[in-house]
Structure 1
Amino acid sequence: MRTALALLFLLAVAAIPGALLPQRSLNETNVNEYIENNGRLAEVYDRLQLFDVFESTWFLAILVLLTLSLVGCILPRSWDHYVAWKTPPTRAPKNLARLPLHAAGGVDKPLDEVTEHARTLLKRWRTAEYTPEEDRAGKISLAAERGYARELANLLFHLGLVGMIVTVALGRMVYYEGQVIVVTESGNYETPPIDQNTEFCNTSTANFDSFRAGPLFDGTGLTTFCFDAHNFSADYLPNGQAEMFTSDVSYAVGADITRPKSEWQDYQLKVNHPLRIEGDRVYLQGHGFAPTFTVTWPGGETRTQTVQWRPDDLTFFLSSGVMRFDPPAGLHPELFERRQNQLAIQGLFAPTAQWDGENNELLTSRFPAMTDPAVAIDIYRGDAGLDTGRAQSIFDLDPTLLHSGQLQKIERVNLTRGESVTLDDGTEVTFDGASEFANFQISRDPFQPWVLVTTMIMLAALVGSLLIKRRRIWIRLSPLENGGTHVELGGLARTDRAGWGEEFERIHRELLGLPDPDETDEDLLVPEDARLISN
């Protein structure tokens, strides 16, 4: 047990970096930014797995050692408890007066009747009777013990703790968790754009924007379902603090996916109110904004895009992002020429614009709701890397393209909803407005119910181990010359004495036939040898 306590303390200390440093399991972007901003020190942290504390080798090693030490503690204690349970209560000590609780007195009843009365009072106790030959004082005695469930509860607490660790570990081996961003149809536009795809189907890991799973999950056990996000709404306090996020969705499971969407089931998704589908849980985690831009080339052809931008300010949702446009194929027949005339837009979006600075050209946001959207953008022309085959950030342009001159800035402009800017070759870029996107998380952990069960067992057992008291009582009886019986009692608490003195006194009063002191206001004249004596 000392080893287990030391390991538990070590585990608590090892978890401290996980609370102080960003963790990849929660937000990989924050980890990357921390590494970029802190240089060599952050690289050392990364090699020590301090950005993956709860999945690190050393943290898992401590957890395994803690589990083994708990098992090594539970097994011998379980056997000792079983032996103690089967062993009759020990004989009374020779001198009961030395015990913390002691009482003695005479009763005008024969020995057999008092003995039967004592058995009745100790009916719910584990008792053993000893003859004068067996008793240390040569008299008839009864030994009783109660509170064995305290040790049982203690063992159940440790078993529940081990069960919780094991079920959490098993769950991390087979779980999966993915995030997907869905742009809803509702938006703030001067001219509505083309329809957005607001549907997500949990049929392939490729459908997620990000996905992670346990080492035993091979990607083929996804629960088949689809949901359609109809809208997203956010309630804000006057100071801009979010009060509630809500998204109305409809969903279908399995073969019902092929039915018309009008027959799908409706559900109102809220924060901390996930949609539960055959063991999977769909959470509404957060939101942001997806601006819409339309590019019109001199020949009249247009391209419209709606892309989510990253909220840099989570209070008023000033967001940043990038859009890339490939010109129409007929406009530049040569592939090289077409690649040199790609457009890229990078800038800021404010749902409720506020203009600061000397010329009121600095864009900020003054409220998170979308009431007066605006953008401040840089427009680039050149090779935006659309057909290089290399993955690019959806929020930032590749800095190597800017430094090498492959992308040339041709315009910097601020636009409100519906405004346009015309480039030097006659191409027109229009800010149409924006939609809100919702971030959904789909999670599955088949061992989560067992984690709950083991946790409840652990908590209930902890309460039992604190409330149940282990105590012993001995009653020694001997006949008196007048036909009565001399009664001597001794009590001993195996743990603490809280509440045990009152129980001992109640047994003493009932056995000796003494009145309850709460039932009378008069001083009771009790013989000296019948008064409760406590050391």
Structure 2
Amino acid sequence: MIPFLRNTWRGLTSMRTALILLFLLALAALPGALLPQRTLNANKVADYIAEHGWWGRLLDQLQFYNVYASVWFSAIYLLLMISLVGCLLPRTFEYVKALRTKPVITPRNLSRMPHHSESTVDKSADEVVAQATKALSGWRKVEREEENGARTISAERGYLRETGNLVFHFAMLGLIIALAVGKLYGYEGQVIVKADGSQEFCNAGVLPYDSFQPGLLVDGTGGSPFCMKVKSFDVNFLDSGQPDLYRANLEYQSGADLQTGKWESYGLEVNSPLRTEGDRIYLLGHGYAPVFTVTYPNGQKRTMDTQWRPTNQTTLLSEGATKFDPPGITNAEERRTKQIAVTGLLAPTARLHGSLLDSSFPDLRDPMVAVDVLRGDLGIDNGRGQSIFTVDQNLVDDGRLKKVARENLKPGGEITLDDGTVVRFDGVKRWVYLQVSHDPAQVWVLVFAIAIITGIGASLIIKRRRLWVRVVPAADGRTVVEVGGLARTDQAGYGEEFERLSGAVTGGKN
């Protein structure tokens, strides 16, 4: 049993295993990029499963819609960390030991080295040794004396190659740990904010968000304190309909400004997030919210500007449902018969095919809505959550919610229902889709990423090589100089360096 465990540990902590696990981790992350993830968009996951049938259900059972929290991804992640630690610690000890060890003694037969030269010079042994020492400046070297009176110099260079290798692998380990810390203590939340300054968003828990993805150790109560509101939204479209500018003009408070009431301004763009209190606010998208006013027979009015979602990202044709609860009715049963929903399509630049509405351009040039007005029970009193973009189709099928009107409206257009209720389309507002991200380890991720590039660059550029010099006094008063060289790693060009060094040692005579 013990030999089996020992061999298993040796195999797990080998560098080959670490590289294989690193490749498997990259391979395992691919489904997270190619498939919808439940933590980001549960509705898209449900649509994908419904569209692909048994294959979609199988992927769900295998946790492919929650890749980064899956058992198999976590297992690869953990094994990679163990492997890296297990193989790096012994290598580090060996490297420290090698740094403290003197270069190896000069081989007896230098002519067997891959690079070799021998010459006789008209200089004393002391002069040759001094010349060789100067030529090998910057090399780790040691001078020795052999039994026959010959003097040798052993020199080695390129130790930083292994330093770069270790820096690369330790930085890789640090990057993995930093990413894990970010998943444990970070969070992401998405929120839609109206772009007219009327809606203030404060990072005060989970409730203000439309969707929220906390880290494993985050309960949503310790978010960074800040508030913001979108004063306006600037967008410019090319003639083709492609946008070339998105900018949300924010005002925000954080830190001491929350006490003083001071607001700071910031132009939020797609690739220019706002960074405050350790959080980052990104601009993800935008859309439109039609404004409807319902005037009830008793003269009371309700105005709503619920956001509608784009169904066509090119023309921003949008769909949605704006829901109204009648005022002044305390009887629950009666109220459930008089709730109103205005559903349909919004075209920022209207194009009609007969009575069918479409949009020809994404900007607000000629807005129009094609709406159905539904009256009855919207299901908003039953305590269950529902989408703000749609009505519950089951209520329509049961006859509890009935269509009472259908019309195409331009701003200012009205529909009068059979009971005297008037529904007016007032106009369109803009909204922006923002994401708040918190990652306490993001600075360390950057540091380790830079260290990875630096380390791998050093390990690729720097080459290990050795050089030996043997100086033997000749009988005629001259000196025999023998130089041998060995590249510890494959390196094109070491021959040129060896020729230069051997020439410098012998004074240019070979």
What range is the shorter-chain TM-score in?
over 0.9
CA displacement at 1:296 relative to structure 2: 1.3
**Which residue matches 2:382?**
388
**Which residue matches 1:149?**
160
- Quote the Cα distance in structure 2 between the aligned partners of 1:199 and 1:391: 23
- Quote the Cα distance in structure 1 between the aligned partners of 2:378 and 2:388: 12
**Which residue matches 1:517?**
none
| Residues 10-29 of structure 1 mapped to structure 2, 5 A cutoff | 10-29=24-43
- Quote the Cα distance in structure 2 between the aligned partners of 1:513 and 1:335: 106
- Quote the Cα distance in structure 1 between the aligned partners of 2:449 and 2:492: 28
Structure 1 range deviating more: 141-150 or 207-216: 207-216
CA displacement at 1:343 relative to structure 2: 0.9
Number of residues of Structure 1 aligned to a counterpart in Structure 2: 496
Give the direction of change, closer, same or farther, for the CA distance of 1:496–1:148 in structure 2 (3 Å limit).
same
Q: Could you list the per-position Cα deviations for residues 377-423 of structure 1 after superposition, in whole angstroms to 9, with x for gaps in the alignment?
A: 11111111122222111011111101111011111211122211112
Residue 376 (1) aligns with residue 370 (2)? yes
- Quote the Cα distance in structure 2 between the aligned partners of 1:423 and 1:417: 18
- Quote the Cα distance in structure 2 between the aligned partners of 1:411 and 1:508: 97
**Which residue matches 1:415?**
409
| Residues 13-162 of structure 1 mapped to structure 2, 5 A cutoff | 13-133=27-147, 139-162=150-173
Residue 238 (1) aligns with residue 235 (2)? no
Q: Could you list the per-position Cα deviations for residues 189-220 of structure 1 after superposition, in whole angstroms to 9, with x for gaps in the alignment?
A: xxxxxxx7321111232111211211222333
Letter matched to residue 285 of structure 1: L
**Which residue matches 2:360?**
366
Structure 1 range deviating more: 362-371 or 159-168: 362-371
| Residues 243-282 of structure 1 mapped to structure 2, 5 A cutoff | 243-260=244-261, 263-282=262-281
Q: Could you list the per-position Cα deviations for residues 149-194 of structure 1 after superposition, in whole angstroms to 9, with x for gaps in the alignment?
A: 1111111110000000001101111112211111112xxxxxxxxx
**Which residue matches 2:430?**
436
- Do the aligned residues in 2 keep the contact of 1:198 with 1:230 (CA within 8 Å)? no
Please, which runs of 5 or more residues in structure 2 have no aligned partner?
A: 1-14
CA displacement at 1:255 relative to structure 2: 4.5
- Quote the Cα distance in structure 2 between the aligned partners of 1:127 and 1:511: 14
**Which residue matches 2:212?**
211
Q: Secondary structure at the match of 1:336?
A: helix
Q: Secondary structure at the match of 2:232?
A: coil
Structure 1 range deviating more: 485-494 or 24-33: 24-33
- Quote the Cα distance in structure 1 between the aligned partners of 2:502 and 2:385: 84
**Which residue matches 1:512?**
506
Q: Secondary structure at the match of 2:165?
A: helix
**Which residue matches 2:310?**
311
- Do the aligned residues in 2 keep the contact of 1:422 with 1:428 (CA within 8 Å)? yes
Q: Could you list the per-position Cα deviations for residues 243-265 of structure 1 after superposition, in whole angstroms to 9, with x for gaps in the alignment?
A: 221011111224423545xx411
- Quote the Cα distance in structure 2 between the aligned partners of 1:334 and 1:75: 74
Structure 1 range deviating more: 307-316 or 15-24: 15-24
**Which residue matches 2:6?**
none
**Which residue matches 1:188?**
none
CA displacement at 1:488 relative to structure 2: 1.0
Give the direction of change, closer, same or farther, for the CA distance of 1:8–1:138 in structure 2 (3 Å limit).
farther
Give the direction of change, closer, same or farther, for the CA distance of 1:337–1:154 in structure 2 (3 Å limit).
same
1:173 to 174, 180, 184: 184
**Which residue matches 1:344?**
341
2:493 to 483, 488, 499: 499
Give the direction of change, closer, same or farther, for the CA distance of 1:138–1:16 in structure 2 (3 Å limit).
farther
Letter matched to residue 181 of structure 2: L
Give the direction of change, closer, same or farther, for the CA distance of 1:129–1:227 in structure 2 (3 Å limit).
same
CA displacement at 1:60 relative to structure 2: 1.1
Residue 353 (1) aligns with residue 347 (2)? no
**TM-score (normalizing by structure 2):** 0.94
Letter matched to residue 295 of structure 1: V
CA displacement at 1:122 relative to structure 2: 1.5
CA displacement at 1:287 relative to structure 2: 0.8
- Quote the Cα distance in structure 1 between the aligned partners of 2:472 and 2:430: 88
Give the direction of change, closer, same or farther, for the CA distance of 1:299–1:450 in structure 2 (3 Å limit).
same
Q: Secondary structure at the match of 1:232?
A: strand
Letter matched to residue 219 of structure 1: G
- Do the aligned residues in 2 keep the contact of 1:324 with 1:386 (CA within 8 Å)? no
- Do the aligned residues in 1 keep the contact of 2:296 with 2:422 (CA within 8 Å)? yes
Q: Secondary structure at the match of 1:207?
A: coil
Q: Secondary structure at the match of 2:195?
A: strand
Give the direction of change, closer, same or farther, for the CA distance of 1:148–1:479 in structure 2 (3 Å limit).
same
- Do the aligned residues in 1 keep the contact of 2:150 with 2:473 (CA within 8 Å)? no
CA displacement at 1:333 relative to structure 2: 6.3
Letter matched to residue 249 of structure 1: L
Give the direction of change, closer, same or farther, for the CA distance of 1:355–1:320 in structure 2 (3 Å limit).
same
Q: Could you list the per-position Cα deviations for residues 79-117 of structure 1 after superposition, in whole angstroms to 9, with x for gaps in the alignment?
A: 111222111111222222221111121221111111111
Letter matched to residue 334 of structure 2: E
Letter matched to residue 389 of structure 1: G
**Which residue matches 2:289?**
290
Q: Could you list the per-position Cα deviations for residues 238-293 of structure 1 after superposition, in whole angstroms to 9, with x for gaps in the alignment?
A: 22122221011111224423545xx4111111112111112111111111111111
Structure 1 range deviating more: 93-102 or 433-442: 93-102
CA displacement at 1:28 relative to structure 2: 2.7
CA displacement at 1:470 relative to structure 2: 0.2
- Quote the Cα distance in structure 2 between the aligned partners of 1:45 and 1:401: 32
- Quote the Cα distance in structure 2 between the aligned partners of 1:119 and 1:505: 16
Q: Could you list the per-position Cα deviations for residues 114-138 of structure 1 after superposition, in whole angstroms to 9, with x for gaps in the alignment?
A: 11111111121111222122xxx87
Q: Secondary structure at the match of 1:489?
A: strand
**TM-score (normalizing by structure 1):** 0.89
| Residues 397-412 of structure 1 mapped to structure 2, 5 A cutoff | 397-412=391-406
Give the direction of change, closer, same or farther, for the CA distance of 1:217–1:18 in structure 2 (3 Å limit).
closer
Give the direction of change, closer, same or farther, for the CA distance of 1:84–1:485 in structure 2 (3 Å limit).
same
Structure 1 range deviating more: 314-323 or 334-343: 334-343
- Quote the Cα distance in structure 2 between the aligned partners of 1:240 and 1:398: 34
2:467 to 473, 479, 500: 473
Query: What percent identity do the matched residue pairs reach?
Result: 49
Letter matched to residue 431 of structure 2: F
- Quote the Cα distance in structure 1 between the aligned partners of 2:255 and 2:128: 74
- Quote the Cα distance in structure 2 between the aligned partners of 1:249 and 1:156: 42
Give the direction of change, closer, same or farther, for the CA distance of 1:127–1:255 in structure 2 (3 Å limit).
closer
